[in-house]
A = this chain, B = another copy of it.
Amino acid sequence: MNEIEVFRKYVKESGLRNTPEREVIIEEIFLTHDHFDVDTLYLCLKNKKCSISKASIYRTIPLLIESGLIKEVFFEDGHMHYEHVLGHEHHCHFRCLGCGRIIEFKQDEVMDIEKKFSRSHGFEVTGHKLELFGYCRECLKKQGKDRKISTTDRVDID
């Protein structure tokens, strides 16, 4: 099932109605793997002459989250940023405090943390969000500093 089919199934089961506007929004979101926000999505569609009102975009986003197509990634510059989920492996984010760049990385160890916490508390853990902060290599170079090597660090770089 692709994203459109998933959404059609979702609206049917929820007693909602599908519309061309919603499918245009979904198609635009799944064109790239980039993070996005409401305004850039709105302007993208506007430039492509398939203009959709901001109200409709704001009203569609909760449906896309509910149907598992997208999720919130981070809040920045006064508004939320999203990414699509379907067909995009789960990953974590590193944010460079110097240049603002976001780097994605996969990390299976977080699953162990989920399980450990779930066991010890008797809770059901359905997901997580992990964000690392720091400085990317370019920003470290720019400052003339190399990465701080901690004493517990291995010396060989893999």
Residue numbers of A with Cβ under 8 A of B are: 75, 80, 94, 96-97, 103, 105, 107, 109-110, 112-137, 140, 147-148, 150, 152-154, 157-158
Q: Within the assembled complex, what's the spacing in Å between the Cα atoms of A119 and B113?
A: 21
Q: Within the assembled complex, what's the spacing in Å between the Cα atoms of A120 and B154?
A: 11
Pairs of residues from A and B, 10 with the lowest C-beta to C-beta distance, nearest first: A125-B134, A75-B75, A126-B134, A127-B133, A124-B147, A122-B137, A124-B135, A129-B131, A124-B134, A130-B130
Q: Would you call B117 and A105 a contact (CB within 8 A)?
A: yes
Q: Would you call A148 and B124 a contact (CB within 8 A)?
A: yes
Chain B residues whose C-beta falls within 8 Å of the C-beta of A80 in the assembled complex:
75
Chain B residues whose C-beta falls within 8 Å of the C-beta of A128 in the assembled complex:
130-133
Q: Which residue of B lies closest to A158 (CB)?
A: B120
Q: Would you call B154 and A119 a contact (CB within 8 A)?
A: yes
Chain B residues whose C-beta falls within 8 Å of the C-beta of A137 in the assembled complex:
121-123
Residue in contact with A147 in the complex, picked from B123, B135, B147, CB distance below 8 Å: B123
Chain B residues whose C-beta falls within 8 Å of the C-beta of A157 in the assembled complex:
119-120, 122
